[in-house]
Amino acid sequence: MSIGCDRSEELISICGQRGHEVLVCDGLTVNMKSDLFDACISIAVIHHFSTEHRRLDAVKELVRLLRPGGEALIYVWAMEQTKQDKKSIYLMKKKSQAAETVLAYISPV
Contact by Cβ (8 Å): 72, 42: yes
**Is residue 44 very low, low, confident or very high in pLDDT (cuts 50, 70, 90)?**
confident
Question: What pLDDT does 50 receive?
Answer: 83
Query: Does the predicted model carry a pTM greater than 0.85?
Result: no
Termini Cα distance of the chain: 27
Map out the domains of the chain as residue ranges. Answer: 1-31, 33-106
What CA–CA distance (Å, rounded) separates 93 from 44?
Answer: 20
pLDDT in tens, 17-28: 999 999 999 889
The CATH class for the domain spanning 33-106 reads alpha beta
pLDDT in tens, 66-92: 999 999 999 887 655 666 776 655 555
Half-sphere exposure of 4 (CA within 13 A, CB side): 16
